Amino acid sequence: MPTNLPPEYFSAEERYKQASTPREKIERLEELISTIPKHKGTDKLRADLRRRLSRLKESADKGKRTGKHESTFHIEKEGAGRVILVGLPNVGKSSLLTRLTNASPAISEAPFTSWTPTPGMMEWEHVQIQLIDTPPLNREHMESEQFDLIRSADLLLLLVDLQSDAMQQLEDARDILLEHGIPIRCQKNIDQISAGKAYIPVLVVINKYDDPSFSEDVQLFHELSQCDWHTVTISSLSGNLLEELKVQIFQELNIIRVYSKPPGKPPDHTAPFVLKKGSTVEELAGKVHKDFLNTLKSARVWGTGVHDGQQVARDHVLHDGDIVELHT
Ligand SMILES: Nc1nc2c(ncn2[C@@H]2O[C@H](COP(=O)(O)OP(=O)(O)O)[C@@H](O)[C@H]2O)c(=O)[nH]1
Ligand SMILES: [Mg+2]
């Protein structure tokens, strides 16, 4: 230990020793180093403390990086929309994800089979949609990160099991989501947007409709329902009505497919541009190429509400399936 260290050094050293978090340690070590006068006698001490500081910074960085990536609830958004499957245990969430995507989460009769979310991609008419299976909603133990993930959805698929008490499952699942502040609302005749708050749309999936013998139960479910969420009845087991479900998912996402074509050529139907419902020619142009936003002079549209090849203005609102020729 070099002699002639100032008194500030010793009080800074005391503060450094008491630091508890990695961040505090780094700050106080920096402070400590700054109290050391620079001369030959302190060279070794300063070098030692600097080395300690860089080790602290390194491990703090690593912690940050792995902390983020290790969380299985952190999933990058992909595709034209994010659809999250939620519901009580055993309603068939994992089975449905397996049916609709190439993902393969564990499926079992035992409740609480899945503890981590599993993402997969569903393709529908050349549109890629992200589907995420999640651990079951319950009142015993749930990670708060799961609710953060649920909040990031563009659409929730709320699954219920038609072969047990489906209505009770719907109500329990809805209540758990509401208790954790998920912005959903099921009352009839209320807009999805109110007081500036955006609600996440919910599509109720009545699963385990294995054959028509269950149709009375479906009817009863509809009679009892207090919510105006749309419903789709399917069987993940038999694959019954899965196409209808895909169509409904697309509709609930409020997106449209638009095809751009060069003059004199047909459009590429396998490469739709996906836009929010209500988007204009101008917004399409920006998606096709950002330069088009400035250079776009006019456009011709084939599709809904126009006669074939009609010339339209930049603010013309497009519809699902429209074909657009952009002129620059
Ligand atoms: N009969 C029937 N069983 C199903 C259907 N979908 C899933 N299951 C079964 O229900 C159980 C729970 O399914 P799972 O996908 O693990 O449910 P999760 O807990 O919601 O993910 C499994 O035994 C599945 O085979 C269905 O449409 N009909
Ligand atoms: Mg599961």
- Contact in structure between 192 and 201 (CB atoms under 8 Å): yes
Ligand nearest to the CA of 109: 1
Q: How many angstroms separate the alpha carbon of residue 109 from the centre of ligand 1?
A: 7
Ligand nearest to the CA of 205: 1
Handedness of CA 155, 284, 321, 319 (dihedral sign): positive
pLDDT of residue 69: 52
pLDDT of residue 249: 97
Q: Please give the Cα distance from 306 to 318 (Å, whole number).
A: 10
- Contact in structure between 120 and 152 (CB atoms under 8 Å): no
Is ligand 1 within 6 A of the CB of residue 114? yes
Closest CA to ligand 1's atom 12: 90
Which residues in the chain belong to E strands, given as ranges? 82-86, 118-124, 127-133, 155-161, 193-194, 197-198, 202-207, 230-233, 255-260, 273-276, 298-302, 310-312, 323-327
Strand partners, 276: 255
DSSP, residue by residue, 75-119: ----BS-EEEEE-STTSSHHHHHHHHSS------SSSS---S-EE
| Residue ranges per structural domain of the chain | 7-70, 82-252, 255-327
Which residue has tokens 């890629």? 128
Q: How many angstroms separate the alpha carbon of residue 82 from the centre of ligand 2?
A: 18
Kindly report the CATH number that applies to the domain delimited by 82-252.
Answer: 3.40.50.300
Residue count of the chain: 328
Tell me if the pTM is above 0.95: no
- Contact in structure between 210 and 237 (CB atoms under 8 Å): yes
Task: pLDDT tens for the chain, 328 residues: list them.
Answer: 666 788 889 888 888 887 777 778 888 899 999 999 988 889 999 999 999 999 888 887 776 666 555 688 999 999 999 999 999 999 999 999 999 999 988 888 877 777 889 999 999 999 999 999 999 999 988 888 999 999 999 999 999 999 999 999 999 999 999 999 999 988 754 554 454 568 999 999 999 999 999 999 999 999 998 888 999 999 999 999 999 999 999 999 999 999 999 888 999 999 999 999 999 999 999 988 888 888 998 999 999 999 999 999 999 999 999 999 999 8
Q: How many angstroms separate the alpha carbon of residue 109 from the centre of ligand 2?
A: 9
| CATH fold for domain 255-327 | Ubiquitin-like (UB roll) (3.10.20)
pLDDT of residue 66: 60
pLDDT of residue 294: 87
Is ligand 1 within 6 A of the CB of residue 107? yes
pLDDT of residue 192: 47
Which one of 1.10.287, 2.30.180, 1.20.140, 1.20.58 gives the CATH number of domain 7-70? 1.20.58
Which atom of ligand 1 is nearest the CA belonging to 98? 15
Is ligand 1 within 6 A of the CB of residue 113? yes
Instruction: Give the mutation target among 88, 97, 107 for probing the ligand 1 site: most ligand atoms within 8 A of CB.
Output: 107
